[in-house]
Amino acid sequence: NGTITAAMVESLAKEMDHRAHTGTEIGKERRSLLRNVLTLAEVADYFGNIERSNDLLSPFTKTRKIREQYVEWTIPFKMRERLVLADFYYATRQLDDATKLLNMLEKVCLPRNQTYEEGEIEYYRVRIALGEANYQSILKHAMHAIDKLTSSNMRPSPSTVAPTASDHEASEKKTDQPDLVQWRLAQVMLALGTGAYRHGEDPTRGPARLHLARWLFSRTKDRLGLAHAEQELGVMYRSQGKEYSEKARQCFDEAHEIYKNEIEHKVYLARVCMNLGTYYLYQKDYREADNYYAKAMTLADELQLSRAQAAILTWKSWLALAKTAPDLTDAIDHAEDALGILNKQSHHTRVDAHLALGSAYLTKGEYANAELNFSEALKIATERSLQRQAIHAHLCLAQYHVDRTNTKKAGEHYDAALKVIPGNNFPKSAYLCAKRDQIKKCLDESTAFYLTLENVLDGTLSLNQYRGKLEAWLIEQMSIREHGKINAIADKLKVPRQRISKYFTDKKRGLTMQTKQRRP
């Protein structure tokens, strides 16, 4: 570690650039140095020293000529070593450059392991598609990867230890060496399960793939991969409601233990702290949620992780809204700060930030700003095929139109939310299901109210009876808009506070204005 300096790597990259123009032969010792640099970068990345890894790799990405020379210099290397640079492009969200590198590497695979190495390249294409939130591409490349890996000559072995940096050579010499196929399949299943759960047309397929990924990782020594699988399962369980909260907590605790005490990976530790914060937000333990968000932000600030900072700020915005007395200033500031940090590629977090910001403006009564943010969220989610978020955006717009008493437009967005995923496969999300049911109740009440008008015209209801229904409907609608605040409802309807309070007291007793007997 101490013998390879940044100056040496810069010199090596310049030498690549020079050879691109002169065509001189590559020295054996220089190629050996490059291999050591790639090994060191991979190890640094695995143990969370992202800055060191990026410093080692970034010089090889400065020009197209250097990238071409990188491909030529690494021809004798194993594909796993050559793909370290693709990891750098993926981590820095340079997805187009990652794709170009994969296309170049694919043209030269080692004959002995060609099918296996093609499978490795397909796995990296799965990761890129996951970064783009493109489920159809995730599925296509995952199927190709599974086909290549399982039909390769890197046969499974009885051993259940994880692959190490030297396992490619060892696996060709001994039959009891690590099962590289199983390890890569675990990675494919983790990416495929995450994609299916977050962005797939059938979200029910995600859990099975994530469970399979965890099982495969548990049979290796890849503790980092196992922690990733635990964390994704935790996110899935957390979203499914209180009955799964204990499972979610167990998964997050397992991931937290590995990231913090075994691998000491601060980047992923920041993410699991954020997810634990959201877990407590769902449990309505707002103090503990704030505590974990603070831990996550401290790590994100220390490591200058802009996407993590934006994601944490977005969740802090939702936290400010969820409190008994919503802090609308904090909610708006956090969401706006998140959008200020994000670049155009962070589609998933941008949608979440717009939804949080729109919800804060809706609560504040700034309807134009609310609609603007909800519409922008829907636009991004639709363009990028972010199905769960498209559903959330439609439901937020439905809620906006319910608050504006535009039943027709609310109904259109409600219907659209149900049709985002073909075959009525609504996500298994407690939050989205509760929001859907709340809006349906509002729509049903509005429909019932309008239908009762016919009863007046038919003579089956008296004017006073209809007036009682109208009064109850207006109070309910205003209660939704003012979040049940009795004083605000009374002010808007210009009636005494006691009248509104009595309505809700009678409602609890089953005696609303709709059911009381009135004198003619």
Q: How confident is the model at residue 6 (pLDDT cuts 50, 70, 90)?
A: low
pLDDT computed for residue 447 by the predictor:
66
Is 177 domain-assigned? no
- Is residue 303 classed exposed, middle or buried when 0-12, 13-18 and 19+ CB atoms within 10 A define those classes? middle
Is 200 domain-assigned? no
pLDDT computed for residue 52 by the predictor:
84
For 236-289, give the DSSP string: HHHHT-GGGHHHHHHHHHHHHHIIIIIS--HHHHHHHHHHHHHHHHHTT-HHHH
Query: What share of the chain has pLDDT > 90, as a percent?
Result: 45
Instruction: State how far the Cα of 36 lies from the Cα of 30, in Å rounded to an integer.
Output: 10
Is 470 domain-assigned? yes
pLDDT computed for residue 474 by the predictor:
78
pLDDT computed for residue 499 by the predictor:
86
When divided into structural domains, the chain yields a total of: 1
Q: How confident is the model at residue 185 (pLDDT cuts 50, 70, 90)?
A: very high
Contact 310, 352 (CB under 8 A): no
Question: SS3 for 415-450, per residue?
Answer: HHHHHCCHHHCCCCCHHHHHHHHHHHHHHHHHHHHH
One-letter amino acid identity for 357? L
pLDDT computed for residue 204 by the predictor:
74
Token pair in block for residue 370: 């609310």
**Residue written as tokens 């790639």?**
38
User: What's the whole-number average pLDDT of the chain?
Assistant: 84
Is 503 domain-assigned? yes
Residues 6+ apart with CB under 8 A from 216: 182, 183, 185, 186, 189
pLDDT tens per residue, range 493-519: 888 888 888 888 888 777 554 444 444
Tell which residue, 19, 113, 122, 7, has the closest CA to residue 72: 19
User: Residue 365: which region, alpha, beta or left (left: phi > 0; alpha: psi -120 to 50)?
Assistant: left
Q: Where are the alpha helices (DSSP H) in 74-204?
A: 79-82, 84-91, 95-106, 114-131, 135-150, 167-173, 180-199
Statement: residue 78 has pLDDT above 70: yes
What average pLDDT score do residues 191-203 get?
82
Contact 190, 220 (CB under 8 A): no
Is 488 domain-assigned? yes
| Domain that residue 483 falls in | 462-508
Q: How confident is the model at residue 281 (pLDDT cuts 50, 70, 90)?
A: very high
pLDDT tens per residue, range 390-416: 999 999 999 999 888 788 898 899 999
Instruction: State how far the Cα of 308 lies from the Cα of 268, in Å rounded to an integer.
Output: 10
What average pLDDT score do residues 213-225 get?
93
Q: What is the dihedral of CA 82, 88, 90, 95, to 10 degrees?
A: -80
Instruction: State how far the Cα of 274 lies from the Cα of 295, in Å rounded to an integer.
Output: 8
Is 269 domain-assigned? no
Contact 334, 314 (CB under 8 A): yes
202 phi, psi to nearest 5 deg: -130, 90
pLDDT computed for residue 117 by the predictor:
92
Range picked from 1-10, 54-63, 453-462, 476-485 for highest mean pLDDT: 54-63
Is 468 domain-assigned? yes
Kindly list the distances between the CA atom of residue 237 and the CA atoms of 208, 230, 242, 243, 427, in Å, as whole numbers in the listed order: 12, 10, 9, 9, 12
Cα atoms in the 13 Å half-sphere on the side-chain side of 352:
20
Instruction: State how far the Cα of 366 lies from the Cα of 503, in Å rounded to an integer.
Output: 28
For 331-398, give the DSSP string: HHHHHHHHHHH--TT-HHHHHHHHHHHHHHHHHHT-HHHHHHHHHHHHHHHHHTT-HHHHHHHHHHHH
Is 126 domain-assigned? no
What average pLDDT score do residues 298-322 get?
94
pLDDT computed for residue 157 by the predictor:
42
What average pLDDT score do residues 55-70 get?
87
What average pLDDT score do residues 454-470 get?
66
Q: How confident is the model at residue 21 (pLDDT cuts 50, 70, 90)?
A: low
What average pLDDT score do residues 468-489 get?
79
Q: What is the dihedral of CA 77, 165, 305, 327, to 10 degrees?
A: 140
pLDDT computed for residue 60 by the predictor:
86
pLDDT tens per residue, range 371-380: 999 999 999 9
One-letter amino acid identity for 517? Q
Instruction: State how far the Cα of 349 lies from the Cα of 127, in Å rounded to an integer.
Output: 17
pLDDT tens per residue, range 345-375: 678 899 999 999 999 999 999 999 999 999 9
pLDDT computed for residue 520 by the predictor:
38
pLDDT computed for residue 25 by the predictor:
64
Q: How confident is the model at residue 32 (pLDDT cuts 50, 70, 90)?
A: confident
What average pLDDT score do residues 115-121 get?
93
Across 142-146, 147-151, 268-272, 436-440, least confident range: 436-440
